[in-house]
């Protein structure tokens, strides 16, 4: 019998797991097993090599500002391969800080701005940014969320806890 396998890479899963992002792997593993697919899990953390061709799916979870900055310093050594992975239409689930870090800049709660890897054009400002409307400014986003994907009709259930506000760039859509 053919054995189906998926190589899953968890980018900085040891640091970017504040909100239980490891659960995304567990859920995927559970559903994969139902259809006879085995998941090979690999944690890719600080100083670890990363090769785009080694993976079928990548997870990149959320984290607090402190860990996000630690990760941002390590990312340049992997960014070329991450870019290659994305440009080759690789599947990637990036959540919260993970998504922010793929963009151009991220502003933390203390006002400091750091650079993401710029593989996507979005940028993140902090919750006090004058770029925000009065209704949005000063509020932390926290709670359960349900998102409908209007393109494929799928509904995603999750939880958010962040202060940053991400503005999508050219060619990106909700």
Ligand X SMILES: NC(=O)CC[C@H](N)C(=O)O
Residues lying near ligand X in the complex (CB under 6 A) are found at 19, 62-65, 68, 96-97, 161-164
Between 7 and 64, whose beta carbon lies closer to ligand X?
A: 64
Between 19 and 50, whose beta carbon lies closer to ligand X?
A: 19
With contact defined as beta carbons under 8 Å apart, do 38 and 7 qualify? no
- The DSSP bridge pattern shows strands 91-94 and 57-60 to be parallel
Strands (E), 19-167: 37-44, 57-60, 91-94, 105-107, 113-115, 123-125, 141-148, 155-162, 165-167
- The minimum distance between CB 74 and ligand X, in angstroms, equals 16
- The minimum distance between CB 31 and ligand X, in angstroms, equals 24
With contact defined as beta carbons under 8 Å apart, do 93 and 27 qualify? no
- The minimum distance between CB 143 and ligand X, in angstroms, equals 12
Between 9 and 164, whose beta carbon lies closer to ligand X?
A: 164
- The minimum distance between CB 127 and ligand X, in angstroms, equals 8
Within 8 A by CB and 6+ apart from 63, the residues are 12, 15, 16, 17, 18, 71, 96, 97, 98
Comparing every residue's Cβ against ligand X, the nearest one is 62
Phi, psi torsion values for 96, nearest 5 degrees: 50, -115
Between 7 and 18, whose beta carbon lies closer to ligand X?
A: 18
């Amino acid at each position: 019998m053919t054995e189906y396998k998926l190589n899953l890479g968890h980018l900085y899963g040891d640091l970017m797991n504040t909100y239980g992002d490891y659960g995304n792997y567990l859920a995927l593993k559970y559903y994969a097993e139902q259809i006879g697919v085995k998941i090979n899990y690999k944690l890719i953390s600080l100083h670890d090599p990363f090769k785009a061709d080694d993976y079928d799916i990548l997870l990149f979870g959320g984290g607090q500002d402190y860990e996000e900055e630690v990760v941002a310093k390590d990312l340049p050594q992997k960014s070329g391969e991450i870019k290659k992975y994305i440009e080759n239409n690789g599947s990637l689930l990036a959540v919260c800080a993970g998504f922010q870090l793929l963009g151009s800049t991220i502003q933390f709660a203390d006002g400091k701005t750091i650079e993401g890897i710029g593989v996507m054009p979005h940028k993140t400002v902090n919750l006090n940014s004058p770029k925000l409307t009065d209704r949005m400014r000063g509020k932390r986003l926290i709670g359960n969320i349900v998102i409908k994907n209007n393109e494929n009709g799928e509904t995603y259930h999750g939880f958010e806890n962040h202060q940053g506000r991400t503005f999508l760039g050219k060619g990106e859509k909700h």
